[in-house]
Amino acid sequence: MLKPYVLKPYNIPNPKKIMLKFKCKDVGFECGFVAKGKTEDEILSQCATHATKDHGMKPEEITDDLRNQIKANIHKSLF
């Protein structure tokens, strides 16, 4: 019989170490860029800079639809 999983101090993630992560490839680009940050706004800012610098996008090409796709693909991660 399996024992129930018990949370103990050593296996509970430290909330201070939980970060947000976004991978450019998750929205359809063939790209290895990964944005990491503590807030959604940090991630979106990094993505906007990356899109203009590395993908040659103009700021007006970063549409609300693309921002929403990015937001939907931001995940919590331990770093």
Residues 19-45 have pLDDT tens digits of: 999 999 999 999 999 999 999 999 999
pTM reported for the whole predicted model? 0.76
In a domain, 31, yes or no: yes
In a domain, 26, yes or no: yes
In a domain, 3, yes or no: no
In a domain, 4, yes or no: no
Identify which has the larger pLDDT, 62 or 7. 62
In a domain, 72, yes or no: yes
Number of domains in the chain: 1
In a domain, 9, yes or no: no
> Please, which residues have CB within 8 angstroms of residue 58's CB and are 6 or more apart in sequence?
52
* CA–CA separation, 41 and 38 (whole Å): 9
What range defines the domain where residue 30 resides?
Answer: 14-78
In a domain, 48, yes or no: yes
In the 3-class helix/strand/coil scheme, how is 6-32 assigned residue by residue? CCCHHHCCCHHHEEEEEEHHHHCCCCC
